[in-house]
């Protein structure tokens, strides 16, 4: 079933951009507005998942969650984090493996968008700073995406944190319990 979102319509994207510019001109933080847009988006995606489930799920994290000691491969796969207990990426790697979904750290956002368009997962689950969440909604509006702001960061683009438990809850909503049958009601067209 085709996913429909207002982010697919250029007048909507233009209105959001205009409001963000206005907030900036007035010196008002856009954080509350962006978070409301993300919550609206997540409600829409939840309704879509309740009807259709998801056969293929892709987890995407930004490069700022990576620690100096992380041994990610050039593609950003979390496979090397499976046995690591040093940070939340290890927890997420194990959650992803238990549910049979793919997870990666996107070193460049445009590469992640290109991969999403190429592979067309039924669902993307991602975290990023507010600005990048807006960019994701604008860039790949045709793919349902559950989004969450990063929970904290040491400084801009360095040592950010996120909630693995939130990812786990969204995965369970989309595909059901680990090892269970996929909750999906429509055929996936494949890459
Ligand atoms: S802080 Fe934002 S722009 Fe910087 S790496 Fe993280 S998600 Fe990307």
Domain boundaries, the chain: 31-175
The pLDDT tens digits for 13-48 are 999 999 999 999 999 999 999 999 999 999 999 999
**Cβ of 164 below 6 Å from ligand 1:** no
Could you tell me the distance, in angstroms and rounded to a whole number, from the CA of residue 151 to the centre of ligand 1? 12
Which ligand 1 atom lies nearest to the CA of residue 65? 6
The pLDDT tens digits for 179-190 are 656 555 443 333
**Cβ of 63 below 6 Å from ligand 1:** yes
The pLDDT tens digits for 63-113 are 999 998 887 888 889 988 999 998 999 999 999 999 999 999 998 888 889
All residues at 6 or more sequence positions from 154 whose CB lies less than 8 Å from its CB, including other chains: 160
Which pLDDT score, from 0 to 100, does residue 183 have?
55
User: Alpha-carbon distance 127 to 169, whole Å?
Assistant: 14
Which pLDDT score, from 0 to 100, does residue 2 have?
85
* Mean pLDDT for all residues in the chain: 90
Section 46-52 average pLDDT: 92
The pLDDT tens digits for 149-168 are 999 999 999 999 999 999 99
Which pLDDT score, from 0 to 100, does residue 18 have?
98
Which pLDDT score, from 0 to 100, does residue 191 have?
32
Give percent helix, percent strand, percent coil of the chain, each to the nearest 5: 50, 15, 35
> Of 16, 92, 7, which Cα lies nearest the Cα of 42?
7
**Cβ of 37 below 6 Å from ligand 1:** no
Nearest CA to ligand 1 atom 8: 62
**CATH number assigned to the domain with residue range 31-175, chosen from the 4 options 3.30.1380, 3.40.50, 2.40.160, 1.10.3470:** 3.40.50
């Amino acid at each position: 079933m085709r996913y429909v979102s207002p982010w697919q319509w250029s007048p909507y994207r233009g209105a959001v951009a205009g409001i963000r510019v206005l907030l900036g001109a007035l010196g008002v933080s856009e954080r509350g507005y962006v978070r409301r847009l993300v919550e609206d988006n997540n409600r829409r995606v939840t309704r879509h998942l309740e009807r259709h489930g998801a056969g293929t799920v892709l987890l995407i994290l930004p490069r700022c969650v990576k620690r100096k000691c992380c041994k990610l491969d050039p593609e950003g796969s979390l496979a090397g984090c499976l046995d690591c207990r040093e940070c939340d990426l290890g927890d997420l790697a194990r959650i992803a493996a238990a549910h049979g979904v793919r997870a990666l750290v996107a070193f460049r956002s445009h590469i992640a968008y290109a991969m999403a368009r190429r592979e067309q997962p039924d669902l993307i689950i991602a975290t990023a700073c507010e600005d990048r969440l807006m960019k994701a909604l604008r860039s790949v509006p045709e793919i349902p995406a559950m989004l969450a702001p990063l929970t904290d960061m040491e400084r801009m683009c360095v040592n950010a944190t996120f909630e693995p438990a939130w990812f786990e809850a969204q995965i369970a909503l989309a595909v059901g319990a680990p090892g269970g049958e996929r909750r999906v009601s429509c055929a996936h067209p494949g890459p």
